[in-house]
Amino acid sequence: MTNNLIQAVEQADTPGTLIAAVRALADARLEAGIPTLIAALGYNNPGAALLAVEGLVQIGVSAVEPLLEKLDGYNYGARAYAIRALAAIADPLALEVLNTAALNDFAPSVRRAAAKGLGNLHWHKLSPEQIQSAQEKAFDTLRQVSQDSDWSIRYAAIVGLQLLAKEPSVKPHIQTHLQQMLAAESDRAVRARVQLATVST
């Protein structure tokens, strides 16, 4: 059955059959299907890519290392979908990749997905002595990203900061930074998002 599902994706010859095949493979939640779902992130078919992301997220932690190993350095669309999957799975193994992507990726869609994901990692999976430094690193990245020239990336960083503010070790730093942003931010949408984050942290 597994081979049939994988072959259906590999042999799909129309956008519709590809979407149906990826949906079937994703719904099966099979670890053997992870490489095929990752490959589907790079097809020129957004519907199939979104279904592949959902499938990888449903599979969960088992998909993290393959996603990290096969992160596409050339296809920014595939990279954005992979970052979205890593952010949703929220395993801290992805911390370095999310940090780097949020700060340095040339594609805004990748940076936004990474920034949001940084705030929502499952920190409890780290050892107690690793947690604080990891959270501080995430905060430092989000602080830098929140000063980006692109308003949409600043907006995503605020979402990440609001999520990260649930963690006591960095909450005071985030509250201070949000107040500073509120005083300096000129974009109305970003200001509104800062205000929302300030109220809820």
- How do residues 76-96 score in pLDDT, each as one tens digit? 889 999 999 999 999 999 999
The answer to whether 71 touches 112, Cβ cutoff 8 Å, is no
CA distance 75 to 59: 23
What stretch(es) of the chain map to CATH 1.25.10.10? 91-201
Domain 1-89 falls in which CATH fold?
Answer: Leucine-rich Repeat Variant (1.25.10)
CA distance 80 to 191: 26
The answer to whether 54 touches 66, Cβ cutoff 8 Å, is no
| CATH number of this structure's domain 91-201 | 1.25.10.10
- How do residues 139-180 score in pLDDT, each as one tens digit? 999 999 999 999 999 999 999 999 999 999 999 999 999 999
Tell me, what's the pLDDT at 38? 97
Residues 6 or more apart in contact with residue 61 via CB below 8 angstroms: 89, 91
| Global confidence as pTM | 0.91
Residue 6 has pLDDT above 90, yes or no: yes
